[in-house]
Amino acid sequence: MDFGLVLQTDPPASEVVGLMRRAERNGFRYGWTFDSAVLWQEPFVIYSRILEHTQKLTVGPMVTNPGTRTWEVTASTFATLNDMYGNRTVCGIGRGDSAMRVAGRKPNTLARLGEAIDAIRDLAEGRETEVDGQPLRIPWVQNGKLPVWMAAYGPKALALAGQKADGFILQLADLYLTEWMVKAVRQAAADVGRDPASVTVCVAAPAYVGDDLAHAREQCRWFGGMVGNHVADLVSRYGEHSDMVPEALTAYIKERHGYDYSHHGRAGNPSTDFVPDEIVDRFCLLGPPRAHIEKLQALRDLGVDQFAVYNMHDAKEATIDAYGAEIIPALSG
């Protein structure tokens, strides 16, 4: 199993770079960041610095979207980083939540997301593609490689990930839901003639190592609110009791009342009071190292290839070091 570290690009950028360097020293192979231009600093600028100060770390957004930047700009940015540092980027992409809504725009449609996945990959790898009806190719790209991993929750999005994406990003670590969603993605891949095993599965969720479970829950409760924001979209689209979305995902948002993006992805988010302890425990990895190892082994058995640690809490360095000392070695090989 691979491991990734997920950070917000809060200033100073030097701290983000430092934590990514620390992660690589501790055995993490991927460095991810949020991508929301109003809420945080521009990640692609920071990626260049991270790549310069690491040796093998692969970096990318978790996740970008097709609407914030034009597709040729996104592709050219990835291709430039790859040309400078040797194909060490990955494009995590989704419909767009905070990046779009904070700017007063709606998330992109799945149809547009599907087109963007193909176009950004083709352009970043030097192939001609069509963008808004115009044939385009980036002529200077040589031997470029850009895996595109798609974030998804709902049935249509899961199907699209299986049909088009190189990887599937699931932003929660619940075992039941992971099994259900991984099966959906792999079945969709098989249905269009792809090898289901060719789709890399990445589970991303907060991890907090320690014996004080109550404190760990409070530090990670924000995640249930973030996931609930996506679940609310599913409920509005499919209905509260739809057979297309499992009740295990939708039941807890009944007490949800709005969402404040100014606290998005942060410990102490006041918009997450509705998230019960059970959901925090199911969606996150909490407790002593043994508890993390046991849950990660279960996730690996369900077909998960990478666990990406959301590291937005009061123990960033300690979590990275604990994973490097005890947890990553137990899951390697």
| 224 pLDDT tier (thresholds 50, 70, 90) | confident
| 20 pLDDT tier (thresholds 50, 70, 90) | very high
Q: Which residue has the higher pLDDT, 260 or 210?
A: 210
pLDDT of residue 274: 76
pLDDT of residue 37: 84
State yes or no: pLDDT of 99 exceeds 90. no
| 302 pLDDT tier (thresholds 50, 70, 90) | very high
pLDDT of residue 327: 98
Which tokens sit at 321? 């070091």
* CA distances in angstroms from 123 to 94, 129, 194, 312, listed in the order given: 18, 7, 22, 33
Are 142 and 83 in contact by the 8 Å Cβ rule? The answer is yes
pLDDT of residue 106: 81
Torsion of CA 109, 112, 117, 123, to 10 degrees: -150
Q: What is the mean pLDDT of residues 176-194?
A: 96
Whole-number percent of the chain with pLDDT over 90: 75
Q: Please state whether the peptide bond connecting residue 12 to the residue before it is cis, i.e. omega within 30 degrees of 0.
A: yes
Strands 134-136 and 129-131, sheet pairing: antiparallel
First to last CA, the chain: 7
Residues 139-174 have pLDDT tens digits of 999 999 999 999 999 899 999 999 999 999 999 999
Are 173 and 285 in contact by the 8 Å Cβ rule? The answer is yes
d(CA 105, CA 69): 13
Q: What is the pTM of this model?
A: 0.89
Angle between helices 110-124 and 71-85 (to 10 degrees): 40
Residues 55-66 have pLDDT tens digits of 999 999 999 999
The amino acid at residue 207 is: A
Unique residue bearing structure tokens 């109003």: 38
If you average pLDDT over every residue of the chain, what do you get? 90
Q: Which residue has the higher pLDDT, 285 or 97?
A: 285
Q: Which residue has the higher pLDDT, 121 or 243?
A: 121
Which tokens sit at 33? 């960041």
Angle between helices 175-191 and 155-164 (to 10 degrees): 50
State yes or no: pLDDT of 181 exceeds 90. yes
For residue 253, is it left (φ>0), alpha (ψ between -120 and 50) or beta? alpha
State yes or no: pLDDT of 259 exceeds 60. no
| 203 pLDDT tier (thresholds 50, 70, 90) | very high
pLDDT of residue 268: 63
Which tokens sit at 18? 């430092």
| 128 pLDDT tier (thresholds 50, 70, 90) | very high
pLDDT of residue 306: 98
Q: What is the mean pLDDT of residues 102-125?
A: 90
How many C-beta neighbours within 10 Å does residue 301 have? 10
State yes or no: pLDDT of 235 exceeds 60. no
State yes or no: pLDDT of 236 exceeds 80. no
Q: Which residue has the higher pLDDT, 178 or 249?
A: 178
State yes or no: pLDDT of 100 exceeds 70. no
**CB within 8 A of 135, min separation 6: which ones?**
128, 129
